[in-house]
Amino acid sequence: MSDLIVKPLRQPKEDGSVLSVTPESAGWTYVGFEAVHLKAGETLQRNTGDFEMCLVLLSGKADIRTNHAEWMNIGKRMSVFEKTPPYSVYVPNEDQYEIKALTDLEIAVCSAPGKGTHAARLISPEQVGVETRGQGNVERHIHNILPEGEPADSLLVVEVFTPEGNWSSYPPHKHDRDALPEESLLEETYYFRVQPEQGFAIQRVYTDDRSLDETLAVKNGEAVLVPRGYHPVSAPPGYEVYYLNVMAGPKRLWKFHNDQDHAWIINKPR
């Protein structure tokens, strides 16, 4: 198995965690990601420590409290493939959160270093930017949950729906150099859901010099680490592919560089 793929546990841990990426486990500096499954009535309580968090309700409903605020009965979609924007909660570092599941719940815990600049807040579906990128077989649908235009210290969070037979994160692009204004250095995780669940996505992760060059078959519930390089995704015919991206780096800007071998595709008539 590629060390870029993180597989879920067969059974959740006692706190509901089924998949975890930390800076230490990934061998990088900024991005953390965790998928947590709670059954109705179960509770998760944690301190944020040095990290700001974005708690994304992937499916299900919950009450969420922090030290200074609370939001009751949030959540709407019961599956990511309902394709409605999610409810999320931003929690700063040096705070704590408590999640009480009102239904069976899947929640993504996205983390990166915090500076204590922003207060905890609800990110409602109406505040999520919705857009379609590309056309034809590179069309995909975007929910900008925590883009660079919204307050946070480090985190960038977005979810993407790729229709069957289509490509996304395409043309291949990278953001692995601290070379602004042309390109920013951002670590990234991809957390995948596939419908029907027996399917898979294809993701390639490669660098110009091919010192990193992997082609991955990614199953439902798995995550992919993108420490550097280009990282396009393909949804095979018959299978819709969802992924949640978490990005962070030394500067909170998303500036990418397209693979010059394939950049011509942007201007290809369709």
- Banded model confidence at residue 270, pLDDT cuts 50, 70, 90: low
- Whether residue 39 is predicted with pLDDT greater than 90 in this model: the reply is yes
Q: In whole angstroms, give the CA distance from residue 225 to residue 136.
A: 28
Phi, psi (5° rounding) for residue 97?
-140, 150
Q: pLDDT for 184-213, tens place per residue?
A: 999 999 999 999 999 999 999 999 999 999
Q: What b/e string do you get for 51-64 counting C-beta neighbours within 10 Å, with b at 16 or more?
A: bbbbbbbbbbbbbb
Domain boundaries, the chain: 5-265
CB atoms within 10 A of CB 267: 6
- Show the tokens assigned to 152: 């946070």
**71: buried, middle or exposed (CB in 10 Å: 19+, 13-18, 0-12)?**
middle
Which residue is it, tokens 């290809």? Answer: 268
The model's pTM is 0.97
Per-residue pLDDT tens digits for 121-142 = 999 999 999 999 999 999 999 9
pLDDT tens for 241-265 read 999 999 999 999 999 999 999 999 8
Residue 267 confidence (pLDDT) above 90:
no
Ramachandran class of 7: left when φ > 0, alpha when ψ lies in -120 to 50, beta otherwise: beta
pLDDT tens, position by position, 51-73: 999 999 999 999 999 999 999 99
Supply the mean pLDDT for the chain. Answer: 97
* Averaged pLDDT for residues 89-93: 98
The SS3 assignment for 24 reads helix
Distance CA 147, CA 155 (A): 8
Confidence band (pLDDT; 50, 70, 90) for 32? very high
pLDDT over 90 percentage in the chain: 97
Tell me how far apart the 2 most distant CA atoms of the chain are, in Å: 53
Six-digit token string for 25: 């486990």
Closest CA to 50 of 68, 23, 12: 23
What percent of the chain stands above pLDDT 70?
99
- Which pLDDT does position 171 carry in this prediction? 94
The stretch 18-28 carries a mean pLDDT of: 98
Amino acid at 83: K
Summarize the confidence of residues 3-7 as an average pLDDT: 97
Quick check: 27 pLDDT over 90? yes
Is it the case that residue 268 has pLDDT exceeding 90?
no
Cα 14 to the chain's mean position, in Å?
Answer: 23
235 pLDDT above the threshold of 80: yes
The domain defined by 5-265 carries CATH number 2.40.33.10:
no
